[in-house]
Every structure is written in C-alpha cells, then in structure tokens.
Amino acid sequence: MKNIAVIGAGTMGNGIAHTFAQSGFKVTLIDIREASLERGLDTISKNLDRMVAKEKISEADKTTTLEHISTTTSMESGVKNADLVVEAATENVDLKLKIFKQLDDICKPEAILASNTSSISITQIAAVTSRPQQVIGMHFMNPVPIMKLVEIIRGYSTSDDVTKSIMELSKTLGKVPTEVNDYPGFVANRILMPMINESIETLYNNVAGVEEIDTVMKLGMAHPMGPLQLADFIGLDVCLSILNVMYDGFKNPKYAPCPLLVNMVAAGKLGVKSGEGFYDYAESRKAEHVAKQFVK
C-alpha cells in the first residue's frame, strides 16, 4: 500500500494524514470544505514545528512530510487511486454509511476501506458495501502522531488477509495495533466512556467539584489527565454520541448518558473545541495548555 486517502480534515483526520505522510506514504486529505483543509494543513505544519523544536525530526523531515500530502474537496478524485481509504468523518452512523456507499462505488476493487470510528459497528458499515471482507476499523487515539495505540476492529466479514495487512501497516507507522472484535464501543471506549460518564454523575450528584474529581483520579489512580478534563479534550458531543451508541447497542442502563452531559451538549458547551466545558478555556487559553500537557 502506497497511496492513502483520508476523509475528514478535522482533529483525527489531519492527525492520521500527518502520521501516514511522516512514514513516507503519499496521502490525499479530503474534506467537503476548502477552509477545513487549510486548517488541517496548518495544524499539521504546527505539530511538525513542535517536533522540530523538540529535535524529534529535522526541518527536512517536516518539508518532506508536507510534500507527501495533497488535498481535495472531490471525493472521486481523492480516492480513485487509493490502496487504503481511512474515513475520519463525524461520529454519525448515517453519514458514515453514506460515505462508505460512495467509496464502494468509486474506489478500485482491491482497495481496503477503513473507518476511524470509535464506537459504530464495522459490520453495519461493511454491510452497505459490496466488499465487506475489505472493510475494517482503524481506531487511532488522539493526538494521533503521539499516541501509540491503534484498535484494529474486525467486522463480521473482515478477512484474515485484510486484518493481517492492516496490523502490519500499523506497525510501519510506529504504532502498536491491537485486534478487537466488533461490539459497541470496542475496548477503549467501552471501558473509558462509562468512567467518564460516572465522573459526570459524581459531579451531577454534588459529591465533589470538577477539579476535586480530576485530582482524585490523577493523584490517586495515576491518570495523566482527569476524566472531566479528558472529556473536554475529546469533546462532550463525541462522548455523548459514543455513550448513545453503546446504550442503543447493549440496551443496558449503565451506558445511559448523564443528564448533565446531555444538557451541556445541548447548550453548546463541548469542551476545548467550543472554549468551555467542565473547564473554561476562553479566557485563560487553557485549551492550548491542556493539549500541550497531554502531548508531553
């Protein structure tokens, strides 16, 4: 696999594009908005600058990485020569199904189609294509260039050859791939999201305040970031979406999202991305501080 297409230029998409390009692959970054592509490239450039400043890469490495990335707003031209397509669009099942139907029609027959979904069924996504054996999950962690884990999710029909190929490919990116089966939330979010949700319930029930809850988990459990701070970093809307997927999938009340989380998302308090969540980032510019703290 030499040619990689990444759909979505947001936080995960530009991170995935960055990672593949830095590993020597030719990458086409695709988004429906030119402005999103420009922001994505700017983010990649700034992240590479940080790596240069920390002497992890050279200026020449940065230049070469950026040269490996092209952008387009055309799905058809962006994926037609791709050996692997990684979808990193919004965590919305209808949107993902629409995208995979399109990809199945326009990608070459041998292309592998992967989703970066953090909770949606790979089997369901694969079912809308004529190549379910070539559909797989590649759940990268944020920030993608730094975090080592990739959850490799096998759908019901995903072939052994495709799974092996994606596992080996992930290793060439310097990642540690972990194979999991296709159930709501997979492993990472099936464990993480109930913890975050319970932390929100603890706040909702006035057991303790935001900083107190995070301090207990950071100092008592050696977590690098408290669960409420982490929820802000992930995006409260994303947390809500994942919990809803698990609640719908398992029909178990333990996955039901806390009313406080539901209300905060409805009010547009989404965390770092909106400037306010459990913490206020707008005035003190904590958003940048949190991101840097997490990357260290």
Which segments are annotated as binding site for NAD(+)?
Answer: 8-13, 31, 91, 96, 118, 142, 273
| 92 belongs to the catalytic site | no
| 189 belongs to the catalytic site | yes
CB–CB of 203/209 below 8 Å? Answer: yes
**Is the alpha carbon torsion for 265, 267, 268, 269 positive or negative?**
negative
CB atoms within 10 A of CB 90: 12
Burial 243-261 (b: 16+ CB within 10 A, else e): bbbbbebeeeeebebbebb
| 118 belongs to the catalytic site | yes
CB–CB of 1/24 below 8 Å? Answer: no
| 168 belongs to the catalytic site | no
Residue of 118, 170, 199, 241 marked catalytic: 118
Residue of 87, 139, 170, 241 marked catalytic: 139
Residue of 189, 197, 241, 274 marked catalytic: 189
C-alpha span between 275 and 55 (Å, rounded): 31
Q: Which residues are annotated as a binding site?
A: 8-13, 31, 91, 96, 118, 142, 273
Residue of 18, 36, 119, 151 marked catalytic: 151
Q: Which element (helix H / strand E) includes 4?
A: strand 3-7
- Name the residue among 238, 243, 129, 126 with its Cα closest to residue 182: 126
The residues annotated as belonging to the active site are: 118, 139, 151, 189
